[in-house]
Amino acid sequence: MPAGGFVLDSSVALGAFFEDEQDAYSIAVWQSLDEAQAFVPALWHLEMGNILSRALRAGRITPDAIDDSWDRIRVVGLRVLPLAADARHWAQRAADWGLCAYDACYLDAALQQRLPLATRDRQLADTARRIGVPIYLAHLQFEPSTR
């Protein structure tokens, strides 16, 4: 697995944590955290909290599975990147790139940190490539989600 760092999109955690969404790409990215540092924008934990709470309400996971997910997240030691507090900035980035503001935040973090982006989201990956942000572990054949 490569050493170094990358920006981790929540779609990859989803693909590593939920059995019905697991794929080789997400598992490889998660396993690479033994040697590589993942950076996340400050919104990542809120987005994961939303994903996990919705999964609990839908009966996809149990409360114990949520605890296990947070334990797995804690163990890998994600580095949290601050966000620009100006909503106008995120609206403009989203408009410039044709993404939602959340995805623009991940892409902006990768661009600003000069790091590759780990994502399963096809539109986000395509936009990243278009503006010169590499995809982490791009050599793997993965099927990005359309989240």
| pLDDT confidence of residue 94 | 94
| pLDDT confidence of residue 17 | 81
Q: What is the pLDDT along the chain (147 residues), one digit of tens a residue?
A: 345 799 999 999 888 888 888 888 999 999 999 899 999 999 998 998 998 899 899 998 889 988 888 888 887 888 999 887 788 988 999 999 999 999 999 999 999 999 999 999 999 999 999 999 999 998 874 554 444
Q: Cα–Cα distances in Å, from 69 out to 50, 58, 75, 109, 140?
A: 13, 16, 10, 24, 24
DSSP 8-state assignment for residue 137: T
CA–CA separation, 25 and 86 (whole Å): 33
| pLDDT confidence of residue 143 | 53
Question: Which H or E run includes 97?
Answer: helix 87-97
| pLDDT confidence of residue 139 | 80
**Whole-structure pTM value:** 0.87
| pLDDT confidence of residue 80 | 92
Token readout for 66 is: 């949520």
The string of DSSP codes covering 24-70 is HHHHHHHHGGGTEEEEEETHHHHHHHHHHHHHHHTTSS-HHHHHHHH
